Amino acid sequence: MVALDKPAGVSMATSSRKERSGASAVARLLAACAEPPDQTLRLVHRLDVGTSGVVLLARSDAAHRELSRALQSGEARKTYRALAWGHPVPARAVFDEPLGRDPKDGRRMRLDPAGKRAVTRYRTLRRLPSVADLELSPETGRTHQIRVHLASHGHPVVGDDLYGGATRWRGVRDPNRRRALAAVRRPLLHAARIEVPALGIDVSSPLPEDYRRVLDSLESPLPARGERAG
């Protein structure tokens, strides 16, 4: 297998349902990562266009079957990072509401009692001004799962225009922090690590620059009263 660090903005959609190898998505991903073309690689799983982080690719049909089985059976452990608005209470918990397609907007998912099982564990790493830095471990792999679970509990991902997290920076009073949050152009969601112990796989990806830049801005102390900000 091959592990790549997907940049935000790269689409992993395939050109047709019959394209099992995901050749078009693999080609875009390799180009974005400045890797040479490789027609042997097969797509194992996907990340949303705006999500950055670890993606696994298989070099053979046998490897594809093993990786797919591990991901679908729950043997693989995925860890994400997200900057979300507000401070979830409690600081560590599980979201387990089923999800289904929003009948009013086919782009979106929503909580749906008749939908598919979806489980997301989270814990708060840091409570920052207006925002929480979260670590999330999805036990299932539903479309937009983390984004919908967080938004449905009042904590949309920073920069997520589809689920209400793109404009809340307007309520931030400090101008430096407001500018940093307003500059976000994608959901600040990052696939930080994938572990498949049975296959000896443990790969991780460092936080991307835009995520770190917002963290730095939120962690910086406010200017003393009377001083000019920035």
Answer yes or no: is 229 within a domain. no
In a domain, 228, yes or no: no
Query: Burial letters for 66-104: b for 16+ Cβ neighbours within 10 Å, e otherwise?
Result: bbbebbeeeebbbbbbbbbbeebeeeeeebebebbeeee
Any domain includes 223: no
Q: Count CA within 13 A, CB hemisphere, residue 211.
A: 25
| One-letter identity of residue 17 | R
Residue 224 domain-assigned (yes or no): no
Residue 70 located in a structural domain:
yes
The pTM is what? 0.92
Where residue 112 sits, what CATH number does that domain have?
A: 3.30.2350.10
Domain assignment of residue 88, given as a range? 2-218
Residue 227 lies in a domain: no
pLDDT bin (cut points 50, 70, 90) of residue 227 is very low
pLDDT at 38: 94
Q: Which residues are catalytic?
A: 48
Q: Quick check: is 105 in a domain?
A: yes
Domain count, the chain: 1
pLDDT tens per residue, range 175-216 = 999 999 999 999 999 999 999 999 999 999 999 999 999 999
Angle of CA points 55, 99, 20, to nearest 5°: 40
pLDDT confidence of residue 181:
96
Please indicate, yes or no, if residue 230 is contained in any of the structural domains: no
pLDDT value of residue 74: 86
pLDDT digits (tens, 9 = 90+) for 41-97: 999 999 999 999 999 999 999 999 999 999 988 899 999 999 999 999 999 999 999
Residue range 123-172, pLDDT digits in tens? 999 999 999 999 999 999 999 999 999 999 999 999 999 999 999 999 99
